[in-house]
Amino acid sequence: MAVEESEAAGVVYSRNHPFMAPVLRNVNLNGPGSAKETRHIELLLEGSGIGYECGDSLGVFPTNDVELVDLALEALGSNGEETVADAQWGTLPLRAALLRRYELNNVPPNLVKAVAERSGDARLGELALPGNQKALEAYADGRDSIDLILDHPGMRLSAQEFVACLRRMRPRLYSIASSPKANPGRAHLTVAVVRYEHRGRSRLGVASTYLAERIGEGGFAPIFLHRSKFRMPEDGAAPMIMVGPGTGVAPFRAFLQEREALGQRGDNWLFFGDQRGATDFLYGPEFEAMRDKGLLSRLSLAWSREGPRKVYVQHLMLEAGAEIWSWLERGAHFYVCGDASRMAAEVDAALRQIVRDHGGRDEDAAGEYLEAMKKVRRYQRDVY
Ligand SMILES: Cc1cc2nc3c(=O)[nH]c(=O)nc-3n(C[C@H](O)[C@H](O)[C@H](O)COP(=O)(O)OP(=O)(O)OC[C@H]3O[C@@H](n4cnc5c(N)ncnc54)[C@H](O)[C@@H]3O)c2cc1C
Ligand SMILES: NC(=O)c1ccc[n+]([C@@H]2O[C@H](COP(=O)([O-])OP(=O)(O)OC[C@H]3O[C@@H](n4cnc5c(N)ncnc54)[C@H](OP(=O)(O)O)[C@@H]3O)[C@@H](O)[C@H]2O)c1
């Protein structure tokens, strides 16, 4: 991880000392009726000394939801005023500790062990044994720390014992969706809000709902700069092919703004996808305007829930394989951003197939072609 510091008026901001960035805008990019919520967030960086480049991310330190903290306190039988000691944070009231300092929405193995010991729950005890990682992960899926306490009502666990088992709150990273040339002193983020139901309780992703719901316009977000190696071509005339479904589109909005601000003439091709065109085309009017004025030479849109079968970005890539191959042979840089679990591998497989089918190469030679692209940074991924 890159450790980044910025300095303004003698104050150094970093992961250990985040800058409190004013939130200028916080709006939903999805239209009415969408199954999703994706927030466009604009932060003011003036006074932070943060000088970012396109491709960088911001780290955000979230605060837990007050209702979740209340639920934890109720489960522990605490009013939140008793103090807990933390090696890093010193002594602080339990409520404050649970609000800002610890993660509540996961199942730390130490807590499983402690609850198993205190409650005598043999099944839980087994999960805590070394070698039972897979079973523990399956148990933890969708559960949180509070479930463990609620599921063992007779058990006593002190506030100190509870927090000693929790993970410290970690910052979440968000790709910067703006170019600093087009937006001096500002950074934009594109945040998919994580909400789901599990065991009769609605669950909230801590950082995405913090950004979406708990700091509105006029609030402040604790942030730091996370430098990336994900970079635009140095040559402004080099073509770019950008594949960014969902929030993966964020850095490509930045790349395109930057190319426009610098008057760079290289061809640009964006593959974007989401559930439905009518409600989920993130920054749709902006990208359509970029296409109309020629900044985007090609715009390929994959709507996965509009027809009888799923259409994904990689399906459109395969349909346009001959053209993608000709762009690659013209020196195009190929970028992928977004979901790491399946999308990035499937896009890689599609690209490999294009090199095979249109470049007349066998499997091994196609692999070598892509490896050679990676070596000279013409094939870059930023997936999470
Ligand atoms: C380099 C980088 C760049 C990133 N850029 C962006 C970006 O631009 N935009 C963006 O939105 N995100 C981005 N992310 C992801 C982001 O950092 C967070 O991981 C994401 O917002 C979720 O964080 P959270 O705190 O809201 O959720 P958490 O509280 O961390 O909860 C997420 C967890 O909830 C669980 N979960 C989620 N949905 C379900 C479900 N349906 N059922 C059961 N369990 C579920 C999963 O275990 C998941 O890991 C990026 C990540 C990295 C590493
Ligand atoms: N590692 C992570 O934690 C992580 C990473 C990315 C996204 N997510 C979660 O996903 C939610 C939304 O994220 P997002 O807005 O960025 O969008 P997303 O879920 O990545 O979806 C964007 C588009 O990609 C499609 N898609 C699904 N599987 C795909 C695949 N294998 N190949 C190509 N496209 C595929 C989706 O279609 P369908 O949904 O219709 O199938 C949708 O049309 C959030 O809750 C976020 O937390 C989590």
Predicted confidence at residue 3, as pLDDT, reads 59
Q: Is the pLDDT of residue 198 over 90?
A: no
Residue with the nearest Cα to atom 36 of ligand 1? 142
Contact by Cβ (8 Å): 14, 4: yes
Domain spanning 240-383, CATH class: alpha beta
Question: May I ask the CATH architecture of the domain 6-62+171-226?
Answer: Beta Barrel (2.40)
Give the side-chain half-sphere CA count within 13 A for 112. Answer: 22
- For residues 116-145, average pLDDT: 94
Predicted confidence at residue 1, as pLDDT, reads 46
Distance of CA 204 to the CA centre of its chain: 15
Q: What pLDDT digit, counting tens, does each position of 170-179 carry? A: 999 999 999 9
- For residues 43-59, average pLDDT: 97
DSSP 46-77: TTS-----TT-EEEE-----HHHHHHHHHHHT
| Pairing of β 90-93 and β 220-226 | unpaired
Residue with the nearest Cα to atom 28 of ligand 1? 205
- For residues 228-250, average pLDDT: 98
| Pairing of β 195-198 and β 201-204 | antiparallel
Q: What pLDDT digit, counting tens, does each position of 326-360 carry? A: 999 999 999 999 999 999 999 999 999 999 999 99
Q: What pLDDT digit, counting tens, does each position of 22-41 carry? A: 999 999 999 999 999 999 99
Report whether residue 30 contacts ligand 1, using a CB cutoff of 6 Å: no
Report whether residue 190 contacts ligand 1, using a CB cutoff of 6 Å: yes
Out of 37, 58, 194, 229, give the residue to mutate to test ligand 1, the one with the largest number of ligand atoms within 8 Å of its CB: 194
- Amino acid at position 70, single letter: D
CATH topology assigned to domain 66-165: NADPH-cytochrome p450 Reductase; Chain A, domain 3 (1.20.990)
Report whether residue 172 contacts ligand 1, using a CB cutoff of 6 Å: yes
Helices (H), 89-215: 94-96, 109-119, 122-127, 133-140, 145-150, 159-165, 206-209
- For residues 222-229, average pLDDT: 98
Report whether residue 250 contacts ligand 1, using a CB cutoff of 6 Å: yes
Among all chains, which residue has been given the structure tokens 């089918």? 357
Contact by Cβ (8 Å): 137, 213: no
Q: Is the pLDDT of residue 201 over 90?
A: no
Q: State the pTM of this model.
A: 0.95
**Ligand 2 pocket residues where CB is under 6 Å:** 36, 38, 192, 194, 245-248, 273-275, 304-305, 310, 312-314, 338-343, 346, 384
Q: What pLDDT digit, counting tens, does each position of 57-71 carry? A: 999 999 999 999 999
Domain residue extents for the chain:
6-62+171-226, 66-165, 240-383
